[in-house]
Structure 1
Amino acid sequence: MSTALLAASQTLQAVLLAALQGDGILSVLFPPLGPSVVSLATPDGMVDQDQTGVSVWLYRVVRDEQLLNRPPSRLPPDRLRPPPLPMRLHYLMTPMMRGNAGEPAPETDQHVLGAVLRSFHQQPILAGAALAGALRGTDRQISVRLESPGLEELARVWDTLDQPYRASLCYEVSVVEVESEQPDAHGPPVLRSEPELGQARPLLLEGALP
């Protein structure tokens, strides 16, 4: 599905919002009690929109080279489904909290960082009811892994933003599959040899008619 990347982002967004709403101290800052949000915008995008909360910014998308050459999936014995494109998504998660007078709130930012770390440490695999968007109701699962990029790499990321550096976290989400829209292809049936006969015959899947 072409919406797989968006669905992965929406899943992170929903999981984080639930975690922040369940925090005994931070809950008053997020809906329904407070105005702060979990946004998919960049940190400077949240500043432009005068928003407080957490920026969950998808800043890098790369192919999973290890899964790239998977063979097509076989459905009925004579049909092949093109393999999906496996992707790894890299997110920068940045608290964007402010005090009562609109000034930075480093103490609250650090509390939010702790809540983010705790949430994905407790739930590193997201599946079932945790999925959102186009992934909701599917049997997919995605893994969320904390990354530790070097200072130089992190500086390059922040150089793209029109904001001074703020304490943030980097996470990799994998594997997100972008499915092909090509129709299923016809393929030869799977054959298996019969040693006792020295012949081969089509392999009938369980439940298929002979």
Structure 2
Amino acid sequence: MAGYGIISDVSEAIIRILREGMVPDIIQGSEGIGMCHPSDKGDISLGIYLYDIKRNIDIIPTDKVPVGAGKLRNPPLFVDLYYMITAYSMSDIKFRTLEEAKILGRAMQLLQSRSTLKGDILGKSAAELTHIPRIELLDLESEEKTRIWNIPDTPYKLSLFYKVYPIEIDSLTVSDVTRVTTADFTIEEKTQ
């Protein structure tokens, strides 16, 4: 299981995958790839925006989890993380669209090749997980993409949409349990 920091750990893992595969060949410096809201991108060339978190409906644990001698933790919460990835080229207007298409193409290639977030990329958080998170490209309609973009006075920019799931967040509630050490039974003969 993992604590609340797993959400930022997953976001950092996505950034790390993209930086390792794009810097310096496609994007000059690692600071050009990072988390940002589309309306507040600064000098980011490839922005990753966590736009939604939803409860995972496929995994709903009900059993408490043992956490040492005489203790049980309430079941964890499983969520899905939704990301929008947008390229912001600084190239001349004549080349900007092509440059952004190249950046997005490379991002898709990298995330497809690392479609699971295993221990080497998630670090110590991965050791605590019972399910390995997967990265999935979403196939959204144009209207849905525009709704997610939702920046006043700014036209929609071609973006990629991904779901990372399942993400496990452990409960803080731990209960003490005691083992049964003695049992008393009363036996009676049943009369008819």
- 2:5 pairs, out of 3, 10, 22, with 3
4+ residue runs of structure 1 moved beyond 4 angstroms?
A: 75-78, 101-104
Contact conserved, 1:43 with 1:96, CA < 8 A, in 2? no
Identity of aligned residues (%): 19
Deviation at residue 189 of structure 1 after TM alignment: 5.2
Q: Deviations over 1:22-79 (max 9, x none)?
A: 7xx41xx3226xxx61121112211xx2x13111000011001222343111345743
- TM-score in terms of structure 2 length: 0.80
Counterpart-to-counterpart distance in 2, 1:111 and 1:60: 26
Match of 2:16 in 1: 14
* Greater share of residues in strand: 1
Contact conserved, 1:37 with 1:52, CA < 8 A, in 2? yes
Match of 1:45 in 2: 40
Structure-to-structure mapping, 1:20-31, within 5 angstroms: 20-21=22-23, 25-26=25-26, 29-31=27-29
Q: Secondary structure at the match of 2:162?
A: strand
Counterpart-to-counterpart distance in 1, 2:50 and 2:15: 11
Match of 1:174 in 2: 165
**Aligned alpha-carbon RMSD (Å):** 2.5
- 2:47 pairs, out of 55, 59, 63, with 55
Instruction: Provide structure 1 residue ranges, at least 5 long, that are not aligned to the other structure.
Output: 191-210
Structure-to-structure mapping, 1:19-168, within 5 angstroms: 19-21=21-23, 25-26=25-26, 29-31=27-29, 37-46=32-41, 49=42, 51-76=43-68, 78-99=70-91, 105-131=96-122, 135=125, 138-140=127-129, 141-160=132-151, 163-168=154-159
Contact conserved, 1:128 with 1:139, CA < 8 A, in 2? no
- TM-score in terms of structure 1 length: 0.74
